[in-house]
A and B are shown apart, each in its own frame.
Chain A
């Protein structure tokens, strides 16, 4: 039943070299093997978005990808987003200001989705429907999405064109 494979990858800027059972999904690998528990599991069938991470810069549901598939890739998780000095990223800051989180369980996935959205918009300002569409893959049972949308509008909305807000590569494991 066990089929250990070797994976080498870069997680939050740090090289990782581990043996992992071939059937382990990437979220479990991050949470259990690397102790990066900020990536949450809400459904393990690819719908809720709580497990959203960036793989080579693109958002991925970590529950739908096997750890072995991450071999040779660059992974960014929620743990890399705030500065090493503890200063929150502007997206995190806006979510707090706009009450875009309550229980915080969906929040890491939301932050990663917004990071990708910010990069993809490439300086262009976004409308509320565009932001809502981009967030439609992240389920949140607490906020009704409004605080999340407002946070994104603050940063990406018509009046504000912020500079790109890519994840920083900080400490991880």
Chain B
């Protein structure tokens, strides 16, 4: 067979597509079980309050309602008062794990208070409307800076204050660098980033089977093994009593990696009712009950030489953490480390304060804080260029890490205790290619021409790196039975990235078959002994290399068994089209099914070549360290000074994620990532009023990028393979998002150069741009 399309490095068609295109995918809400009940949550309507009275009797009495649960009803099932979520984090001053349902205080709009289970969703919603919830309002803390004032009200009565964590990065001698610096620029940035907004909302379905003594939970999660571990802990069951499965998942982008209260409440309800229970989030809930990113306020200074070399950066970062800590504190730490980017930064000190607020808890969305860190660095570089009267590309060129400096260590400690180190990449070349592709050198002439026609166009650039392939491991098991079907199971999970195709392609390559011949199982805790899942652009690195190793091992086993069966030596066996055959003698062959049958064993007989039984293998790939993807983005925009509207005319990406398993899918990830970044820059804004009421809870108020406002994204690849894993691959899923805000804002500033506008805040909405232009006009008039 030798399907060329199966080879690693080719753009194989995705094995996921056929079912999805027909509408035959099986998403969580598509699953219907016998005796299924449906659930809805009553949620807090206020940002902060005390529960004075919660009366569910009328709701319970409604026909078709099976139960209304409050915290007191679920608590007896739980091993602890709060959900046992804590991720280890240095710097955490106190952990605030969420409650499954509010106990007596509500701390954000959308916090679940009661769970209604009924015959249908409609009845459940009718019943929820009959619940009496009397709340005594408490002052809400909304702004992350005000939250730390000495007299600020508390976000939660139980906490000593609102500073949930404090951490820092500090290397080199930043103060000494500033003391000698010929130039210092200070700038404050207020960066808002929105939610994940997968088109499929979250959902959970749980069923307890008494005969099997098994709680099965279908969960649209990015991390089923973690969900299972939390359920085991929270419910005091054993590992064999819980199975978590992810059906088709309609996008993840971060929030689905967080374990939310509904993922415990619904299984608990199924246990209590002994009936399957399903809950599917509606869009209002995805705005208010699902974690997303929030605001960050950076107060930063950069010190540099007359020839534009960075000497040091110092400052503070205040991060709006929301009302609990469901997912540790990685988000602002990622932001702060990613600031360094592809540049030589001799000294860096940043104090990071995580402030609780009365808002939905914050947790990573695509990019996970890195776009903000990159934004701060890239803005500072543009400020330096302006101050020194140098071109923006030149300032960057003078500070980029040279390929000869790789691997490049940075004295920053990472979560696993190791020191940051960039593995491979040619950053100056990456920038050079992007500038060339976007026509950087002729741009000023085009810009002048446009200006003479009354059009304001600008070109912006940004460089970034992304730590990808976070460990510690991922698992892949391959088994082949007498049927001959190749089944690969992985702890990696799929939300649209094409994980199944990626794994299938690698395994198919080893067997010389088409990817369609490999059946891939993802997101089933009973299919692999362990697994982590989707976060930190990691699965091609971790699951890809696990699949590569597993495939190699099983091919070797099959070949050894076949050699014995065919009475030749191992070296005479080749694997072609999924069969082991004697080299040059195609008729002398054993199919995988035949080999599997021989390895299944016959009572009383020896196994071929005394191999261990079964044509199967299970491996874990353990990472050797983070591998750094890098890229340069160039954006060309036109700004309408009358309206403040921004049109993106052109978008160029030069991207280096090492070796590519499937270039088509890599490009899909990069383009999707860029567009997410375009949304975060120009459109998406989760707004709250002074009382903590969310103001943008529909897609009419919270704007996602649409096909007509998004440009064609041109991608050019570089491939700097990493030595850190056998495939030489790096991650690609988030990197597009990281560079986009910086490149776009640099372009908008460039377009508005005649007005002298400096942009420091995200998102850049038309009214915000108009305000900046008016302020600049007032300044120059004064």
Taking Cβ atoms with an 8 Å cutoff, the residues of A that contact B are: 1, 21, 23-24, 31, 35-45, 47-48, 50, 77-79, 81-82, 88, 92, 95-97, 99, 101-108, 111, 128-129, 131-133, 135-149
Contact = CB atoms under 8 A, between A and B. Distances in A.
A154 B284 CA distance: 37
A162 to B, nearest CB: 18
B707 A135 contact: yes
A36 B29 CA distance: 12
B283 interface: yes
A103 B199 contact: yes
A143 B251 CA distance: 11
A42 B203 CA distance: 12
Contact of B282 (A44, A128, A132, A145): A44
Contact of A79 (B22, B30, B200): B22
A140 B707 CA distance: 9
Interface stretch (B45-53, B463-471, B509-517, B671-679): B671-679
B520 to A, nearest CB: 16
Nearest to B24: A38
Contacts of B32: 35
21 contacts: A1-B126, A31-B30, A37-B26, A38-B24, A40-B27, A40-B200, A40-B250, A42-B199, A42-B201, A44-B282, A44-B283, A45-B699, A47-B700, A101-B17, A101-B20, A103-B249, A103-B495, A104-B248, A104-B250, A141-B253, A143-B672
Contacts of A148: 707
Nearest to B253: A141
Given A45-B283, A102-B498, A141-B676, A133 B708 contact: yes
B707 to A, nearest CB: 4
A154 B409 CA distance: 47
Contacts of B26: 37
Given A1-B126, A48-B199, A102-B496, A141 B14 contact: no
A105 B27 contact: yes
A79 B19 CA distance: 11
A99 B715 CA distance: 15
Given A38-B22, A103-B200, A144-B713, 13 more contacts: A39-B23, A43-B698, A43-B699, A92-B21, A96-B13, A96-B17, A102-B498, A105-B25, A105-B200, A106-B250, A137-B706, A146-B712, A146-B713
B122 interface: yes
B667 A105 contact: no
Interface string B666-698: 011001111110000000000000000000001
B325 interface: no
B630 interface: no
Contacts of B495: 103
B249 A99 contact: no
B199 A139 contact: yes
Given A45-B699, A148-B707, A103 B251 contact: yes
B122 A23 contact: yes
B184 interface: no
A67 B706 CA distance: 28
B94 to A, nearest CB: 35
B672 A102 contact: yes
A51 B384 CA distance: 49
Given A102-B668, A103-B200, A142 B496 contact: yes
Interface string B1-45: 000000000000110111111111111011010000000000000
B710 interface: yes
Contacts of B447: none
Residue from A24, A79, A105, A144 with most neighbouring chain B CB atoms (10 Å): A144
Interface of B: 13-14, 16-27, 29-30, 32, 122, 126, 196-201, 248-251, 253, 282-283, 495-498, 664-665, 667-668, 671-676, 698-700, 704-710, 712-713
A108 B27 CA distance: 13
A139 B706 contact: yes
A38 to B, nearest CB: 2
A29 to B, nearest CB: 12
A159 B19 CA distance: 29
Given A96-B14, A104-B496, A42 B25 contact: no
Given A47-B699, A92-B22, A103-B198, A146 B671 contact: yes
Contacts of A147: 668, 671
B675 A145 contact: yes
A78 B23 contact: yes
A142 B251 contact: yes
A44 B122 CA distance: 14
B25 A141 contact: no
A31 B25 CA distance: 13
A88 B698 CA distance: 34
Nearest to A38: B23
Contact of B22 (A82, A136, A144): A82
Nearest to A35: B32
A97 B665 CA distance: 11
B283 A42 contact: yes
Nearest to A78: B23
A101 B198 CA distance: 13
Contacts of A99: 14, 664-665, 667-668
Contacts of A105: 25, 27, 198-200, 250-251, 496
A144 B704 contact: no
A149 to B, nearest CB: 6
B11 to A, nearest CB: 8
Contacts of B496: 102-105, 142
Nearest to B62: A1
Given A88-B21, A103-B251, A141 B665 contact: no
Contacts of B668: 99, 102, 142-143, 147
Contacts of B709: 136
Contacts of A23: 122
B23 A97 contact: no
A47 B122 CA distance: 22
Nearest to B710: A145
A97 B17 CA distance: 10
B664 A136 contact: no
A142 B672 contact: yes
A24 B125 CA distance: 13
A140 B23 contact: no
Given A103-B200, A136-B706, A81 B283 contact: no
- Interchain residue pairs A-B with the least CB separation, the first 6: A38-B23, A103-B496, A104-B20, A105-B250, A78-B23, A144-B675
Contacts of A81: 22-23
Given A82-B21, A108-B23, A140 B199 contact: yes
A41 B32 CA distance: 16
A130 to B, nearest CB: 10
A24 to B, nearest CB: 8
A43 B283 contact: yes
A142 B359 CA distance: 26
A108 to B, nearest CB: 5
Nearest to A134: B707
A111 B22 CA distance: 9
Nearest to A1: B126
A117 to B, nearest CB: 12
B23 A106 contact: no
A143 B675 CA distance: 8
Contacts of A43: 283, 698-699
Contacts of B13: 96-97
B699 A104 contact: no
A169 to B, nearest CB: 15
A33 to B, nearest CB: 11
Contacts of A138: 707
A144 B29 contact: no
A140 B250 CA distance: 10
Contacts of B27: 37, 40, 105
B287 to A, nearest CB: 10
Contacts of B20: 101, 103-104, 107
